[in-house]
Chains A and B, each alone.
Chain A
């Protein structure tokens, strides 16, 4: 129970938000974007937070999912769910293919390689205009139908997006608490050390990389159907960076932190619109500020504070409760 207390709180938040604020733009519209971003961030956090590997190219997997769904449904007339599966398959294949050579790289070399991979995939979306629609994008992507029930309103999309996001969080939590999770933490601590303990590091790193790619591709497929239109700008280097910022902003190695980071970074531009031209400046300052002063991330630092306060309250009211 205690293990999943946080998860229940998250479920309650997700369910209550549209009831308390019915039809609110920030819940039903921005909420969907947050859910997609959170799903990717939770996956990326598995990679970054638990294996200590960075990826500056995860927008590519998001894009592979989105373009698979978009192209297969519009050009080939596939069933949307089949296309979604094909998108996952494509992301899985690509991730399997590049994971081994890329994950052999360390630190900044890995950053460069993933960044380069993201840029290559983006160019593949831009250049073959006759297939992908090029920079003008791919339009008229049909919406999803679930048991004969078209997901065509914001609130329905809210349900689907947050549902999938919660599923992703649940999976991630289970993965972390499993034997693989233990091995993962060993890898993060010290690769050589873990290897000596008999952990097949390379295989685990590759697996986690693939899982995080699948999370992103799933979000991408859903995103394509929700938007009805996709273009390469949504899957650029900038978005890869944003994803990394979401993970780090929340606090690495914290699944809830990733969700929180995704929420903050998605809401930030929406609220910064009032600052107009200062928006870019403020965004940069916030990124720097948080990393300098709260290197553990916003979520982890905040939750530690809260725990401290609770603990000190308890100790004052009931000193014997400490044990």
Chain B
């Protein structure tokens, strides 16, 4: 009975903690838009926008003053009928591609996007060559010994031969 009560207690505490965690984002109630559709678009957008002050947080997560201003701007742009791309462009015009947490794919970011896959391919290529070679050498060693080689081994293993006779 007490065990069961304990379990219920633990579950209740866990639920409360989870709830708190969910509520701990930086967006203030007075920033939110009344239109839930626009608000959810604003949330998704601001999760992908970097706060220039904190630099490793999105403006959705950041408590910085500037992040607050940018969140408000995102919402105002959406209210005035901007598409998501237009809102992003508005901030890129001011802060550069740096504000986008996902860097765009263009010539200056080719190394960034393609570097890792290319290195992986190169590594796979090297591994393949290495593996092939090893297989070839192992096939080589599986060949049975020739008569001459057998004779050499027999001479080496001969207990009567102390090595001075010069059989080899």
Please indicate whether A and B come from the same complex rather than being unrelated chains: no
List the interface of chain B (C-beta within 8 A of A): none
List the interface of chain A (C-beta within 8 A of B): none
